[in-house]
Structure 1
Amino acid sequence: METSQIDTLGLELYEALRSCRPVAPLTERYPEIALEDAYQISRAMLALREQRDGEVVVGKKIGVTSKPVQDMLGVFQPDFGFLTDAMLCPDGAEIPIAGRLVAPRAEGEIAFRLRKDLNGPGVTEADVLDATESIIPCFEIVDSRIADWKIRIQDTVADNASCGVYVLGDTEVDPRAFDLPNLKMRIFHNGELHSEGLGSAVQGNPLTAVAWLANTLGEFGIPFRAGEVILSGSLAPLIPAAPGDRFALELEGVGGCSCSFR
């Protein structure tokens, strides 16, 4: 794609984010769009958030890592995007939908907080563990600016990996004390158990997912920085969120996280 076209689509997605009015799928309008193009569109969108709104990148995310999520969305490879300071919500937050989100869905994840930089490619699971300060229970609220969630991998990568906001729990623990693939999460929707999942849902091991993300972004010249938060992917199917909904999760032996919507 030409640079001018990438900039135009980045602006279109930025305006969709700010107006909460979705756009038609990019892959329907531009069948030739490549993954590299999609990534550059996401960078153009991010640049507008930084320049116009003063947002600061504080982390990265991987998504569409588990089979239930892939089957739900019809996207069969991971996506990747950026987290900014404006996207972080405190534990127990009441999140407005109108004026902020389009079609939100909640997913339970394990977040990683880094204590030192990671530069891909060549990052291994051992490197990720060594670079991690703590893991944190997390809800990511995914939200597609593509109408009706009619996405292919290029659509979601261009749309900052369909990320809306995220909520971090108050508990942070040393990951070395846990068997991460067998770490169990329980997710509750309006007070009732909705689903369960294990750390192994994300590429067999959350460390594997984070290493993949470090290596993928490293190919674009994007490092992980000390202090950043990395979201490692959903452990269970996504749950649509509507006004009045309450969500909570428990990460076995670690702690919990909650949010609600209005």
Structure 2
Amino acid sequence: MDDNTRAHAAERLLAAYDGGPIPPLTATYEGMALDDAYAVQQLQISALLERGRTIKGHKVGLTSAAMQKLLGVSEPDYGHLLDDFFYLEHTPIPSSRFLQARIEPEVAFVLKKPLQGPGVTVSEAISAVDYVLPALEIVDSRIENWKIGLFDTIADNASSAAVVLGSTPTPLADVDLRLMGAVMHKNGQVAGTGAGGAVLGSPINSLVWLANTVGARGVVLDAGHVILPGAVCAMVPVAAGDTVTATFAGLGSVTARFS
């Protein structure tokens, strides 16, 4: 893709929340590659920053073996978390903001100092974490019917849309993230279960991958930023009237309500 084609793809994605989902980019732009997809993502983020938005963190996607197999990939992807992505737990979230919303439980890292790769180690990542929080990530797709390939979801900011954070911080030393179990309830019914080990063996591994991957692109994970390392179980659709709660062993719970 040349620069004009990348810009056209970014403009179409930016317009999708007003005009509706668009066909898969990979079916529209022949020869789209990994660098093209991240460039399209970055063009959108740059445009939103020019409109006054700010970056508050990053998310990692495609961290489960099942999702990687589904899309035929061997590593995760990443996207940006912007300031207007964050909602308070129990406070109604307007479902009209989303096109095809789904939700998934994650443990969120909050950083106390910057992380800059490449070359970040597990020990350096651990020392950069201030605390962890229970979280629910709301994912959305601007691609019709979620018919996404790897490059589609990367260009679409890794399908990131919103996040609800719990309000009880836990020091990283107080919980074994690999063995941490989680249960997600939707409208009082169990909608999914999982454990931290589903995220690349440990959510810490996801944080290391992110720091090194974005670092190679000149990006620093800043102090105070929120990092979502990946879901511990499969996402489920949500709509107006739904209430979703994720409960994590050793971390507490977080609830999202949709109006």
Q: Which amino acid aligns with 2:126?
A: L
Distance 2:91 2:12 in 1: 29
Matching residue of 2:10: 10
Name structure 1 gaps, 5 residues minimum: none
For the pair 1:176 / 2:160, whether they are aligned, the reply is no
Paired residues of 1:69 and 1:234 also in contact (CA < 8 A): no
Partner of 2:23: 24
Counterparts of 1:1-262 in structure 2 under 5 Å? 1-17=1-17, 19=18, 21-52=20-51, 54-70=52-68, 74=71, 76=73, 77-98=75-96, 100-262=97-259
Assess if the C-alpha contact under 8 Å between 1:186 and 1:196 holds in 2.
yes
Q: Deviations over 1:134-160 (max 9, x none)?
A: 101000000011111111111111110
Find the residue that maps to 2:229 and give its secondary structure.
Answer: strand
Change (3 A) 1:75 1:84: farther
Q: Is the 8 A contact 1:22 1:102 kept in 2?
A: yes
CA deviation vs aligned residue, 1:186-208 (integer Å, no higher than 9, x gap): 11111122221111000000000
Task: State the Cα RMSD in Å.
Answer: 1.3
Residue by residue, what CA displacement relative to the aligned partner does 1:126-183 show, whole Å, maximum 9, x if unpaired?
Answer: 1111000010100000001111111111111111000111100011111111111001
Please list every run of at least 4 consecutive aligned residues from structure 1 whose deviation after the TM superposition is greater than 6 angstroms.
none
State the one-letter code of the partner of 1:101: F
Unaligned runs of 5+ in 2: none
Q: Is the 8 A contact 1:116 1:225 kept in 2?
A: yes
Instruction: Count residues in correspondence.
Output: 258
8 A contact 2:132–2:171 mirrored in 1: yes
TM-score, length basis structure 2: 0.96
CA distance in 1, matches of 2:223, 2:46: 21
33-42 or 43-52, which moves further after superposition? 43-52
Q: What per-residue deviation string (whole Å, max 9, x for no partner) do you get for residues 21-69 of structure 1?
A: 11111101113111111101001111121112x1100100101111344
